[in-house]
Amino acid sequence: MHLSETVNTGFYSLAPLLVFAPVVGLLINAIFGQKFSEKVVGTVASLASGTAFVVSVLLAYSVAINHGHAVSVPFAEWIHIGNLELDWTFRVDSLSATMMLVVSGVGTLIHIYAIGYMHEDVRFKHEEGRFARFFVFLNLFIAAMMVLVSGDSYLMLFVGWEGVGLCSFLLIGFWFEMDTLARPSWANSNAAKKAFITNRVGDFGFLMAGFLTFWNFGSFQFDKVFEAAPAIAHNSPGIIVAITLFMLVGVAGKSAQIPLYIWLPDAMAGPTPVSALIHAATMVTAGVYLITRSAPLYTLVPQAQYIVAMVGAATALFAATIAVGQYDIKKVLAYSTISQLGFMVAAVGMGAYVAGMFHLITHAFFKALLFLSAGSVILGMERGHHAHAHHAAHDDHGKGKKKKEEHGHDDHEEVFDPGDMRNMGGLRKTMPVTFWLYMAGTLALAGIVPFAGFWSKDEILLDAKLHYTSVYWQLAIAAFFTAFYMGRQIWMVFFGEARTEVAKHAQESPKVMTVPLMVLAALAVLGGGLNLPFEGFHNLTHWLGYTLGEVEALPLNLGVAGVSTLLALLAIFISWWIYGRNPLKAGQPDPLKKPLGFIFTGMENKWFVDEGYGVLILTPFKKISQFLADVIDWRFWHDFVHDTVIAGTYNWLSEIVLSRYADQKGIDTFFNSWGSFTQWLSGNVRKIQNGFVRSYALSVLLGVVLILGYLILK
Amino acid sequence: MVPVDYYVVLSAVLFSIGTLGVLSRRNPLIIFMSIELMLNAANLAFVAFASVYETFSGQIFVFFVIAVAAAEVAVGLALIVEIFKTKKNINVDEMNSLKG
Rounded CA separation A700/A706 (Å): 10
Model pTM? 0.77
- B77 to chain A, any CB pair closer than 8 A? The answer is no
Q: By mean pLDDT, which of A185-189, A235-239, A322-326 is the weakest?
A: A185-189
* Ranges of H-type helices in A255-351: 263-266, 272-276, 286-293, 295-298, 302-324, 329-349
> How far apart, in Å, are the Cα atoms of A175 and each of A42, A180, A204, A289, A314?
19, 11, 28, 30, 33
pLDDT at A672 exceeding the cut of 90: yes
- B79 to chain A, any CB pair closer than 8 A? The answer is no
Contact assessment for residue A390 and residue A481, using Cβ atoms and an 8 Å cutoff: no
- B98 to chain A, any CB pair closer than 8 A? The answer is yes
Q: How many residues does chain B have?
A: 100
Write the CATH number for B36.
1.10.287.3510
Percent of all residues in chain A with a pLDDT value above 90, rounded to a whole number: 50
Query: Which residues pair with residue A80 across a beta bridge?
Result: A85
Rounded CA separation A98/A530 (Å): 11
State the pLDDT at residue A420: 86
Q: Which of A692, A695, A702 should we substitute to test contact with B (largest number of B Cβ atoms within 10 Å)?
A: A692
Residue B99 lies in a domain: no
Rounded CA separation A42/A113 (Å): 10
Residue A255, φ and ψ in degrees, nearest 5: -95, 15
Residue A300, φ and ψ in degrees, nearest 5: -75, -20
Q: Name every residue whose Cβ is closer than 8 Å to that of residue A640 and which is 6 or more positions away in sequence.
A: none
- B83 to chain A, any CB pair closer than 8 A? The answer is no
* Amino acid making up residue A575: S
State the pLDDT at residue A274: 92
Please compute the mean of the pLDDT values over residues A674-679 and round it to a whole number: 94
Please compute the mean of the pLDDT values over residues A380-393 and round it to a whole number: 78
- B95 to chain A, any CB pair closer than 8 A? The answer is yes
CA of B23 to nearest chain A CA: how many angstroms apart? 5
Minimum Cα–Cα distance from B19: chain A residue:
A701
Contact assessment for residue A93 and residue A70, using Cβ atoms and an 8 Å cutoff: yes
Please compute the mean of the pLDDT values over residues A158-183 and round it to a whole number: 87
pLDDT at A5 exceeding the cut of 50: no
- B54 to chain A, any CB pair closer than 8 A? The answer is no
Please compute the mean of the pLDDT values over residues A355-373 and round it to a whole number: 93
Please compute the mean of the pLDDT values over residues A97-107 and round it to a whole number: 94
Q: By mean pLDDT, which of A507-521, A527-541, A661-675, A694-708 is the weakest?
A: A527-541
Rounded CA separation B94/A605 (Å): 118
- With CA atoms as reference, report the closest residue to A310 among A460, A480, A471, A469: A471
pLDDT at A369 exceeding the cut of 90: yes
Query: What is the b/e burial string over A629-653, where b = at least 16 CB atoms within 10 angstroms of the residue's CB?
Result: eeeeeeeeeeeeeeeeeeeeeeeee
DSSP per residue over A456-492, as a string? Answer: HHHHHHHHHHHH-HHHHHHHHHHHHHHHHHHHHHHHH
How many other CB atoms are found less than 10 A from the CB of residue A198? Answer: 23
Q: Average model confidence (pLDDT) for chain A?
A: 87
How many other CB atoms are found less than 10 A from the CB of residue A297? Answer: 24
Contact assessment for residue A307 and residue A241, using Cβ atoms and an 8 Å cutoff: no
Q: A199-251 pLDDT, tens per residue?
A: 999 999 999 999 999 999 888 999 899 999 889 888 888 899 999 999 999 99
Cβ of A701 and B100 within 8 Å? no
State the pLDDT at residue A407: 41
Print the domain residue range for B85. 4-91
State the pLDDT at residue A397: 46
pLDDT at A412 exceeding the cut of 60: no
Rounded CA separation A714/B46 (Å): 25
Cβ of B98 and A688 within 8 Å? no
Cβ of B98 and A691 within 8 Å? yes
pLDDT band of A678, cuts 50, 70, 90 = very high
State the pLDDT at residue B41: 95
100 residues of chain B, pLDDT tens digit each: 788 899 999 999 999 999 999 888 888 889 899 999 999 999 999 999 998 898 889 999 999 999 999 999 999 999 999 988 988 888 888 777 777 5
State the pLDDT at residue A3: 47
Percent of all residues in chain A with a pLDDT value above 70, rounded to a whole number: 95
Contact assessment for residue A261 and residue A342, using Cβ atoms and an 8 Å cutoff: no
pLDDT band of A391, cuts 50, 70, 90 = low
State the pLDDT at residue A580: 85
Q: By mean pLDDT, which of A86-90, A124-128, A152-156, A482-486 is the weakest?
A: A124-128
Name the pairing type of β-strands A71-81 and A84-92: antiparallel
Secondary structure element (H or E) that encloses residue A76, with its range: strand A71-81
Decide which of A645 and A418 is more confident: A645
CA of B59 to nearest chain A CA: how many angstroms apart? 24
CA of A695 to nearest chain B CA: how many angstroms apart? 8
- B85 to chain A, any CB pair closer than 8 A? The answer is no
Cβ of B93 and A688 within 8 Å? no
- B93 to chain A, any CB pair closer than 8 A? The answer is yes
Q: What's the 3-state SS for A264-275?
A: HHHHHHCCHHHH
* Ranges of H-type helices in A37-124: 38-65, 94-124
State the pLDDT at residue A413: 39
Please compute the mean of the pLDDT values over residues A29-45 and round it to a whole number: 90
Residue B12 lies in a domain: yes
Query: Which residues pair with residue A90 across a beta bridge?
Result: A73, A151
pLDDT band of A337, cuts 50, 70, 90 = very high
Secondary structure element (H or E) that encloses residue A560, with its range: helix A558-575
- B80 to chain A, any CB pair closer than 8 A? The answer is no
Minimum Cα–Cα distance from A695: chain B residue:
B23
Cβ of B96 and A698 within 8 Å? no
Q: Name every residue whose Cβ is closer than 8 Å to that of residue A469 and which is 6 or more positions away in sequence.
A: none
State the pLDDT at residue A392: 64
Residue B75 lies in a domain: yes
Q: A501-554 pLDDT, tens per residue?
A: 888 888 888 888 899 999 999 999 988 888 888 877 888 888 888 888 877 777
Handedness of CA A236, A242, A247, A251 (dihedral sign): positive
Q: Name every residue whose Cβ is closer than 8 Å to that of residue A528 and which is 6 or more positions away in sequence.
A: A362, A450, A451, A452, A453, A454, A455, A456
State the pLDDT at residue A396: 42
Q: A458-477 pLDDT, tens per residue?
A: 999 998 988 888 999 999 99
pLDDT at A402 exceeding the cut of 60: no
Residue A6 per-residue DSSP state: G
* Amino acid making up residue A642: H
User: Which of B19, B23, B96 has its CB closest to that of A691?
Assistant: B96
Residue A91 class from Cβ within 10 Å (0-12 exposed, 13-18 middle, 19+ buried)?
buried
pLDDT at A284 exceeding the cut of 80: yes
State the pLDDT at residue A95: 92
Residues of B in contact with A690 (CB under 8 A): 96, 99-100
Q: Name every residue whose Cβ is closer than 8 Å to that of residue A488 and which is 6 or more positions away in sequence.
A: A324, A575, A578, A579
The domain spans of chain A are: 353-395+419-604
Please compute the mean of the pLDDT values over residues A13-25 and round it to a whole number: 92
pLDDT at A308 exceeding the cut of 90: yes
State the pLDDT at residue B95: 78
Q: Which of A684, A688, A693, A696 should we substitute to test contact with B (largest number of B Cβ atoms within 10 Å)?
A: A693
Please tell me the total count of domains within chain B.
1
Cβ of B23 and A694 within 8 Å? yes
Residue B100 lies in a domain: no
State the pLDDT at residue A336: 94
State the pLDDT at residue A1: 43
> How far apart, in Å, are the Cα atoms of A399 and each of A126, A179, A274, A395?
8, 10, 24, 11
Query: Which residues pair with residue A86 across a beta bridge?
Result: A79
Cβ of A693 and B95 within 8 Å? yes
State the pLDDT at residue A181: 66
**Helix orientation angle between A302-324 and A452-467, rounded to the nearest 10 degrees:** 130
State the pLDDT at residue A410: 41
Please compute the mean of the pLDDT values over residues A133-160 and round it to a whole number: 93
- With CA atoms as reference, report the closest residue to A156 among A206, A200, A199: A206
pLDDT band of A289, cuts 50, 70, 90 = very high
CA of B34 to nearest chain A CA: how many angstroms apart? 13
